[in-house]
Amino acid sequence: MQRDIFTSDHEAFRQMVRSFIAKEVEPYHEQWERDGVVSRDVWLAAGQAGLLGIDIDERYGGGGNDDYRYYLVLNEEMTRAGANGPGFSVHNDINGQYFRRLVTPEQADRWLPGYCSGELITAIAMSEPGAGSDLQGIRTTAVRDGDSYVLNGQKTFISNGQLADLVIVVARTDPDAGYRGISLLVVERGMPGFERGRNLSKVGMHAQDTSELFFTDVRVPAANLLGEEGGGFVALMQNLPRERIAIGTAALAGAEAVFEMTLAYAKERQAFGRPIGKFQHNRFVLAEIATEIAVARAFTDKAVLEHVADRLSNEDASMVKWWNTELCNRVVDRCVQLHGGYGYMLEYPVARAFVDGRAQTIFGGTTEIMKEIIGRGLGV
């Protein structure tokens, strides 16, 4: 389908991203899968290529370009390449919004140059063993003591958790203030009492380091408070639509990539003397997938333009996230079936997509939470 949301500049950027992936990602990704973590070199290479902090002011080494479509192109191409290891989207689409909007001038000088160069890798620590989608259930505490906060708690399922140099920690600074008692603190690598647990063993996305983090009497300088004390929950709610459209757009790109390779396979793979795509059932399955993707693409690109214009509602972002992640799982499942036995072999991209993509309906807010948000928006 022809997409009219991109300009020639976006397409030139896409070619650059593809070249970057071919040189800096694809030759190493299998090793990263075995290691359970990517090399820091790819982060430095991404910084040098201008792929980190595209919307950060140029004075800090960023691109100074607030057009979300450049991040969209980057995320689409990483997804299409099956490059799930480098957590660029976590760094750019999620954490970048907090650093760009909430930092003080002093914090900007301290953190943003390294953020843009890839020298400072970032993570955000929201989920806890007993609190996932319910952010008001967070139990990690930060108690003010002089010019510091004393941080105690545990986080889990943290992307970039092993590599992160800066971790935005969601903590409760006032236990009696409900959602108004939640704040954001930036914990830096090497702070006493900050420890990383195991690199979690996942079903898929093996190259993406996902970790447990532990905070035991960590003294975080008050100068590392991100935004206002008690303003953390509001900041999270404001930035979640960006996270969700990023996940949803990547999911749709993944569905498209798997469908394209499956369509080519169905035209080439022979059974009973003819290509498997010539069998009516298989042809109907391919037709269904093509139609579902086309419908999702039309809605998603409209939502992207709304986001670029700063008009995307929380409900529409939730629709994109819910629909596209569930669609991706359905598409990939049917494509595995069309590949037959080869679809179950991890040497085939369709099999890797099957295990890597399953988490999309969970992270960034589960499908059920997305439906809850949409339903509340309907007034029910």
Residue 69 CA to residue 296 CA, distance in Å, equals 17
pLDDT of residue 130: 83
pLDDT of residue 240: 87
Contact assessment for residue 300 and residue 308, using Cβ atoms and an 8 Å cutoff? no
CA dist 366 to 258, 313, 340, 360, 369, Å?
23, 18, 30, 8, 5
The one-letter amino acid at 329:
N
Residue 145 bridge partners (DSSP): 148
pLDDT of residue 1: 61
Residue 75 CA to residue 65 CA, distance in Å, equals 16
Alpha helices in 21-166 (DSSP H): 29-35, 40-48, 68-80, 88-89, 96-102, 105-117
Angle at 92 between CA 89 and CA 97, to 5 degrees: 125
Contact assessment for residue 179 and residue 144, using Cβ atoms and an 8 Å cutoff? no
- Burial tier of 65 (Cβ tally within 10 Å: 0-12, 13-18, 19+): middle
The one-letter amino acid at 359:
A
Model-level pTM?
Answer: 0.95
Of 169, 56, 77, 192, the C-alpha closest to 122 is 169
For the stretch 132-155, what's the b/e string if a residue is b when 16 or more beta carbons lie within 10 angstroms of its beta carbon? bbebeebebbbeeeeebbbbbbbb
pLDDT of residue 235: 95
pLDDT of residue 251: 98
pLDDT of residue 136: 73
Is residue 243 flagged as an active site residue? yes
Domains in the chain, please, with CATH?
A: 8-120 (1.10.540.10), 123-230 (2.40.110.10), 234-377 (1.20.140.10)
Contact assessment for residue 194 and residue 213, using Cβ atoms and an 8 Å cutoff? yes
Q: Is 213 left (phi over 0), alpha (psi -120 to 50) or beta?
A: beta
Q: Which of 77, 212, 243, 256 is catalytic?
A: 243
pLDDT of residue 308: 96
pLDDT of residue 104: 97
Torsion angle, alpha carbons of 32, 36, 42, 46, to 10: 120
Block means of pLDDT (10 residues each) for the chain, 380 residues, are: 88 98 98 97 98 97 97 98 96 96 97 98 94 80 97 97 98 93 97 97 96 98 97 92 95 98 98 97 98 98 96 96 98 98 96 96 94 95
CA dist 168 to 122, 219, 237, 311, Å?
8, 14, 15, 26
